[in-house]
Structure 1
Amino acid sequence: MGKRTGDHGAGKLADRGTAAASGSRLAPAESTAAPAASPEGMDDLLHVDPLELEIGFRLIGLADPTRGGDLLERLRTVRQRVASELGLIVPQVRIHDQISLAPNEYRVKIRGTVVGHGTAYSGRLLAIPPAGMVSRPDGRDGIDPITGLPAVWIHTDGRAVAELAGCQILDAAAVVAGHFGEIVRNHADELLTREQIERLLDRVRTTAPTLAAEVVPGLLRPGELQRVLQNLLRERVSIRDLETILETLAVHAGKTRDIDVLTEHARQSISRQITESYRGGDGRLRVVTLSRSLDARLTAAGNQTDTRPAEALGDETARSIIRAVAFAVGNLVEAGFPPLILTSTPARAVLKDLTRADLPRLVVLSQREIPRDTPIEVLGSVIEEEPETVTTFSTTGAMA
């Protein structure tokens, strides 16, 4: 990462929701004979922004309202949307140009660490072809940063033709803002601080003060509640209904302080909320399941508390399971359904932990998280035939 930022005319752009600033280059003489930093300057050097968006110099116009750029407004909208979806107070994002980046590159940082990056072309449009499209529009090859699928950066005068061909069209600011939102969702747990926990509890104290006091500090420390909520956010489960979550913790935290166990209880208490977004238009959940033997094996691996699931299963078996799950849910996605797999309650967290790195979009639900009035259609199953061999078979149309 470069130590200096380039001053390419972004200026200082600030509002209540998004802070933007441009650094300035030092001439060689100034950089070698810089005065000693004042205490205030040292404080600035030590400050770490919760969220940063760094942009290459050709993207500066996207963030400059005087040049017609609306990226700041889009980022503010994204922050509001994520807050509404996840119940998380999304901190302000500092946006600034960075000379070490390629001209059309951008990257997102959380507390100084890069968590995502991409490329966008100001003045062009990203055309995302529909599935099965053979002849793509003319333009510069690109990638949809959210799905990772191939796309094309086209000139603006090619928009009508691309739309007629069925392409989704996004301008550069929409691409950057959309990718930023996806990154924030993927790393929401890292943004939930102790200070935010206190602010969220303050809201509950206004409507349910007895409940709030019973759970924190009555049964759990603030840090323990933070870890439960982080576990939920890590799987994109909204913590917006914090009162219901606290009601559940009030029941179970007196019996156990195991964070993973409490997380599963919390998930079950908001099961209708979790499953709602995965239902089809007819109200059904289309899922892939595990065979009983494989489910039992994952449960046994989870019971070995001193090791991670992959270690308990063995690397080769773990990789085989991941490949089989990927194949099964891949068929589900190709059919137009969310990548959803259904397990027993003890196996749920184990499978999610096992697949988190390779299949981050996989949704793993337990049977206890399915509301009783929700119909389920099983479209496939992951089965275990040999100790080291895991395969899949289809049971399209089976009902459960």
Structure 2
Amino acid sequence: LLLAVAGGSGAWFMRENQKEAERIATAAPPPAQETPKEQRDLTWEDLSPVDPIGLEIGYRLIPLVDKNQGGQLMTRIKGIRKKISQDLGFLIPPVHIRDNLDLAPTAYQITLFGVTFGEAEIYPDRMMAINPGQVFGELDGIKGQDPAFGLESVWIEASQREHAQAQGYTVVDVDTVIATHLSKILQDHAHELLGREEVQQLLDNLAKVAPKLVEGLVPDTLPLGGIQKVLQNLLEENIPVRDIRTIIEAISEQAIRNPDPEAITASTRMALSHSIVQHVNGVKADLPIITLDPELEQILLQTLQATGEGGASLEPGLAESMHKNLNEAAQRQEMSGESSILVVQAGLRTWISRFIKHSIPGLNVLSYNEIPDNKQIRIVANVGR
């Protein structure tokens, strides 16, 4: 973890004064100056590359990352990076932390490759009491939202912690608020963090234990970019790439027949079927599933065949009703304490998964080909038009 933080309020005031002076200076043309006889030319080393992951903080949050002031956030972030890397199967890039005087004093923002993916304003001298859905009273404090999941919350004094917990609230400190927000963004966008360098490192590590499997794979069987796309497809649907040996075996077998990354992804998912189902439903033999009405499936298949998967467009009324029915079925499953799993024909799986990805994130979409033989299917809902 890299840290570029100004130390103390004195440094901040100096920088503020400097910024004000610069604003005044740019209001009028600068005075003519003599050009040095030997001025160094601009080189590539003068251009700073964008950070894959960045955390920018307002000046009042600096103590959170300053160990000399008791800050623990850096330690928390290191732990998050380690856990996510182990869970997903590839090394997440370091998090670059720096102060940003353009932010409000108690604000922060999380960036990926220079683009802001999350931001919030917090209260470092308070704790966040989050409403998990059922509480038994109201709290005195500053109302807000949990930045990671959007849950209603209240910023309370630390002395109110036990009272808030007794009322059913989940109470966390500011380190946890930021760390949880960062963790969610990294997991949601893990596929964007997997570059070709990371893919090559995965292959190099695999070659140490299974050299014949990797030998001749790139570029004879599939280019590195093709392997990257398959791995990104898996990560985008929350499938870890830890079992890289099984994944590469599936890629090698399918790529010979069809080098299309989408077709390879489908075959790879079948090879990982036990892992995928266990990830969404545990080790239980009973698998509760939601299905689509055959008439609706036929309409969807005809639409995909006519327009292609990338450009499939449903009639607005049909899309709205299908989405509504799927959402209601998923909510009923969540209320019953069971996993929400929609099982469809293989030709529909990718399109439907993308259709509901952001609006019904808790609904897992599998194809019938991905159900292991040792699972007992139990249909809990059938969704029609």
The answer to whether the superposition gives a TM-score over 0.5 is yes
Aligned letter for 1:337? Answer: E
Alpha-carbon deviation of 1:60? 1.8
Residue number among 19, 28, 34 corresponding to 2:2 in the alignment:
19
Compared with structure 1, are the counterparts of its residues 220 and 383 closer, same or farther at alpha carbon in structure 2 (3 Å cutoff)? same
Distance 2:327 2:72 in 1: 38
Change (3 A) 1:40 1:251: same
Match of 2:202 in 1: 200
Q: Say if 2:134 and 2:168, in contact at 8 Å, map to a contact too.
A: no
8 Å CA contact 1:298–1:351 kept in 2: the answer is no
Contact kept, 8 Å, 1:309 with 1:350, in 2: the verdict is no
Aligned amino acid, residue 128 of structure 1: I
Residue pairs, 1:373-392, within 5 angstroms: 373-384=374-385
Q: CA deviation at 1:302?
A: 3.2
User: Are the equivalent residues in 2 in contact too, given 1:271–1:370 (CA < 8 A)?
Assistant: yes
Moved more, 300-309 or 258-267: 300-309
Structure 1, 46-55 or 23-32: larger mean CA deviation:
23-32
Shift of the alpha carbon at 1:306? 4.2
- Superposed CA RMSD in Å reads 2.5
Please tell me whether residue 318 in structure 1 is matched to residue 301 in structure 2: no
| Alpha-carbon contact 1:107-1:116 (below 8 Å) kept | yes
Would the aligned equivalents of 2:333 and 2:339 in 1 still touch at CA under 8 Å? yes
AA in 2 matched with 1:319: E
Q: Residue 230 of structure 2 aligns with which residue?
A: 228
Task: Judge conservation of contact 1:229–1:239 (CA < 8 Å) in 2.
Answer: yes
| Equivalent position of 2:328 in the other structure | 327
User: 1:41 Cα deviation (Å)?
Assistant: 8.1
Q: Distance in 2 between the 1:321 and 1:75 partners?
A: 40
* Matched residue type, 2:251: L
**Per-residue deviation at 1:178?**
1.0
Find the partner of 1:181 among 180, 183, 187.
183
2:5, 2:62 within 8 Å by CA — same for their partners in 1? Answer: no
SS of residue in 1 equivalent to 2:192: helix
Of Structure 1 and Structure 2, the greater helix share is in 2
DSSP 3-state at the match of 1:342: strand
The residue that corresponds to 1:109 in the other structure is 111
Q: What residue is the counterpart of 2:9 in the other structure?
A: none
How far apart, in 2, do the equivalents of 1:328 and 1:171 lie? 35
TM-score w.r.t. length of structure 1? 0.84
Question: 2:63–2:71: 8 Å Cα contact kept in structure 1?
Answer: yes
Match for residue 71 of structure 1? 73
Q: Is the 8 A contact 1:278 1:285 kept in 2?
A: no
SS at 2:105's partner residue?
coil
Answer yes or no: is the 8 Å Cα contact 2:291–2:343 preserved in 1. yes
Aligned length: 366
Give the unaligned 5+ runs of structure 1: 1-17, 385-400
8 A Cα contact 2:309 2:351, kept in partner: no
1:318, CA displacement in angstroms?
2.4
Matches within 5 A, 1:1-400: 18-22=1-5, 25=15, 26-29=18-21, 32=25, 43-279=45-281, 282-304=284-306, 306=308, 308=310, 310-311=312-313, 313-384=314-385
Aligned-residue offset at 1:283: 4.9
Q: Which has the larger radius of gyration?
A: 2
CA distance in 1, matches of 2:289, 2:108: 37
Q: How has the CA–CA distance of structure 1 residues 319 and 46 changed in structure 2, closer, same or farther, with 3 Å as cutoff?
A: farther
The one-letter amino acid of 1:20's match is L
Q: How big is each residue's C-alpha offset from its partner over 1:53-95, in whole Å with a ceiling of 9 and x where there is no partner?
A: 1112222221111111111111111111111111121000111
Question: How much has 1:327 moved relative to structure 2?
Answer: 2.0
% same residue: 32
